[in-house]
Amino acid sequence: MKRPLIGTSWKMNLVPSRAEAYCTQLKPLVEDLHDRTVFVLPPFPAIPAAVQVLSGSNVLWGAQDVHPEDEGAHTGDVSAPMLADLGCTFVEVGHHERRRDYREDDALIAAKVAAAQRWGMTAILCVGEAARLPYGQAKAHVLVQLQFLDRFDQGKLVVAYEPAWAIGTGAEPAGVDWVASIHAVIGGRLREAAGPADPAAVIYGGSVDPARASDLISCPGVDGLFVGRAALKPEVLADIAHARLAARS
């Protein structure tokens, strides 16, 4: 089994001073964890604060987006070499809010994956259906979002299944059986693309909280958890990161 990944994207929350306080509080809460990887994805202005606090610790950091080009006239954008220079390990791409708000399509997202990997970082490719669908339609939707998978280096890739209907205040959490079934689809596609090499990890995000963390991370095909709003409190992320990993069937 892969080393579990437990991480969070702060979205557009926590100014740099609050980010520094968050990381300072989080670091000792997870320093005992040696069998799993913990990471945080601050907004761009807060990444240097995370670097300052987390350097030398067992908590990794990354970014929530990246431009597909390495440099140029792209006002307001941030490139992969800029993120690599800050020591980022992970770069999130393709989150449903980016797809929805900025009309990002799979071709653009694939180019962002390539940019992150080109600079030695691991891309966290987010996939998932916007509305609750029957299983067959959800499966087809996710497979379309993985259409460029064969271009990627799976050694520097994590796929995050985040059904949009299970994200946000008042959302309906996805059941463990549903998560397992979709992760099986994603895992099968990854193994097909990887051939004899090890396939990428598949993590789950969508209404993850301490009460559900152990059941979710123990689910077959789930290699970790990608936590949203619940992890804006460092003690909550630490609780989730300590979730018991039960034996899998």
pLDDT tens digits, one per residue of 171-183: 788 999 999 999 9
In the set 67, 92, 95, 104, the catalytic residue is 95
pTM: 0.97
129 is catalytic: no
Q: How far apart are CA 178 and CA 207, in angstroms?
A: 13
Encoded tokens for 48: 């240097």
**Which of helix, strand or coil describes residue 114?**
helix
User: Is the pLDDT assigned to residue 142 strictly greater than 60?
Assistant: yes
In 3D space, the residue among 122, 128, 235, 134 whose CA is nearest the CA of residue 186 turns out to be 128
162 is catalytic: yes
With contact defined as beta carbons under 8 Å apart, do 225 and 15 qualify? no
Of the pLDDT bands very low, low, confident and very high (cuts 50, 70, 90), residue 1 is: low
**Domains in the chain, start-ordered, CATH in brackets?**
5-241 (3.20.20.70)
The mean pLDDT value for 178-195 works out to 97
pLDDT tens digits, one per residue of 74-105: 999 999 999 999 999 999 999 999 999 999 99
In the set 92, 104, 129, 162, the catalytic residue is 162
pLDDT tens digits, one per residue of 202-248: 999 988 999 999 999 999 999 999 999 999 999 999 999 999 876 55
